[in-house]
């Protein structure tokens, strides 16, 4: 796929799935803006990409920062063609141990952060916006939005909100004549720091005897018999942002090795 001359913003792009997506678009010729709260990892990734890449410090909860970041995309990259709303956090906690502060932080990042991203991308990309050339948005939902796993009420709720908001956004953008398509992904078990953290939490909660046992269980639940990689997610993301998906909007695509049906 060729994204030469396109400007792509990936939130939470310093590591994990976001970094995989940033690398893939960069290889396809795009100008990449990686934003994250992790300065060191973000700067190292941009150094590795060596050209056509910029790191911006951004907390996706901060609306004023969203406005600045979108303007910087136009100044530095000459536009904003693609937004990947990838930044997110997880927390496993059974409802009897529900922690409202943890849940509020999670919902603020995973839901409000994505809604703000769509707001400012719409304002930039739609006709009359500072870029005004239309574009594509992909939001990172999760298999958790489609299934019920113990301990994941807050996280699953946040990802279900992302899924539904994606569809609402697709309708608003389509009917509003914005020339912007909005889709989301349901990744399964993708090997990143987040999954390492989830496995540790599940072991700490006493649900598995150790991390190897948890890993084996998750692998067995996945019909393709392995964890996914950030590259697996990146390939589908690029498809959704490309002309090959020119009539696809409001869709949610599992990238889960069959987990939801396993
Ligand atoms: N790894 C999986 O198996 C999996 C499965 C389904 C969905 N997802 C979703 O994919 C996305 C990426 O997950 P990952 O596995 O790469 O996780 P990760 O923890 O490796 O990376 C997430 C990134 O988001 C950044 N981030 C966190 N809070 C932020 C904030 N307030 N503002 C800006 N950046 C922030 C982190 O610093 C980090 O770089 C998340 O939305 C996650 O919920 C992951």
Does residue 211 sit within a domain? no
Closest CA to 79 of 3, 174, 188, 169: 3
CATH classification at residue 150: 3.40.50.720
Q: Which domain holds residue 238?
A: 7-188+229-261
**For residues 72 and 207, what is the distance between their CA atoms, to the nearest angstrom?**
46
**For residues 38 and 179, what is the distance between their CA atoms, to the nearest angstrom?**
32
- Provide the pLDDT for residue 59: 99
Does residue 204 sit within a domain? no
Does residue 169 sit within a domain? yes
In the three-class reduction of DSSP (H, G, I as helix; E, B as strand; rest coil), residue 11 is classed as strand
- Provide the pLDDT for residue 77: 85
In the three-class reduction of DSSP (H, G, I as helix; E, B as strand; rest coil), residue 36 is classed as strand
What's the 72 CA to ligand 1 centre distance in angstroms? 22
Does residue 216 sit within a domain? no
**For residues 34 and 49, what is the distance between their CA atoms, to the nearest angstrom?**
11
Does residue 209 sit within a domain? no
Does residue 101 sit within a domain? yes
**For residues 11 and 34, what is the distance between their CA atoms, to the nearest angstrom?**
6
Label residue 124 by pLDDT band (50, 70, 90): very high
Of 89, 104, 108, 188, which is best to mutate to test ligand 1, by the most ligand atoms within 8 angstroms of its C-beta? 89
Does residue 2 sit within a domain? no
What's the 28 CA to ligand 1 centre distance in angstroms? 23
Closest CA to 21 of 92, 104, 83: 83
Of 13, 46, 61, 87, which is best to mutate to test ligand 1, by the most ligand atoms within 8 angstroms of its C-beta? 87
Q: Domain count of the chain?
A: 1
Q: Which atom of ligand 1 is nearest to the CA of 60?
A: 32
Does residue 15 sit within a domain? yes
In the three-class reduction of DSSP (H, G, I as helix; E, B as strand; rest coil), residue 251 is classed as coil
| Cβ-contact 11, 18 below 8 angstroms | yes
Residues in the chain: 262
**pLDDT for 200-234, tens place per residue?**
999 999 999 999 999 999 999 999 999 999 999 99
**pLDDT for 132-158, tens place per residue?**
999 999 999 999 999 999 999 999 999
């Amino acid at each position: 796929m060729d994204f030469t001359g396109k400007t792509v913003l990936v939130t939470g792009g310093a590591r994990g799935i976001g970094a995989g997506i940033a690398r893939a678009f960069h290889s396809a010729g795009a100008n990449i803006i990686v934003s994250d709260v992790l300065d060191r990892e973000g700067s190292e990734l941009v150094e590795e990409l060596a050209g056509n890449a910029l790191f911006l410090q951004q907390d996706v909860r901060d609306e004023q920062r969203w406005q600045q970041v979108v303007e910087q995309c136009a100044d530095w990259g000459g536009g904003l063609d693609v937004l990947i709303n990838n930044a997110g956090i997880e927390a496993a906690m059974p409802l009897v141990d529900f922690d409202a502060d943890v849940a509020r932080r999670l919902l603020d990042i995973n839901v409000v952060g994505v809604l703000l991203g769509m707001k400012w991308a719409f304002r930039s990309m739609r006709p009359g916006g500072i870029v005004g050339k239309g574009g594509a948005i992909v939001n990172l939902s999760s298999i958790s939005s489609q299934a019920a796993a113990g301990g994941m009420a807050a996280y699953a709720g946040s990802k279900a909100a992302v899924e539904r908001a994606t569809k609402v956004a697709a309708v608003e953008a389509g009917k509003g004549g914005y020339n912007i398509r909005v889709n989301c992904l349901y990744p399964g078990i993708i090997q990143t720091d987040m999954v390492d953290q989830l496995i540790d939490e599940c072991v700490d909660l006493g649900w598995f005897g150790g991390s190897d046992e948890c890993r084996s269980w998750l692998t067995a639940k996945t019909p393709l018999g392995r964890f996914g990689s950030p590259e697996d997610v990146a390939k589908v993301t690029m498809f959704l942002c490309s002309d090959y998906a020119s009539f696809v909007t409001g869709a949610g695509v599992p990238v889960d090795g069959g987990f939801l049906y396993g």
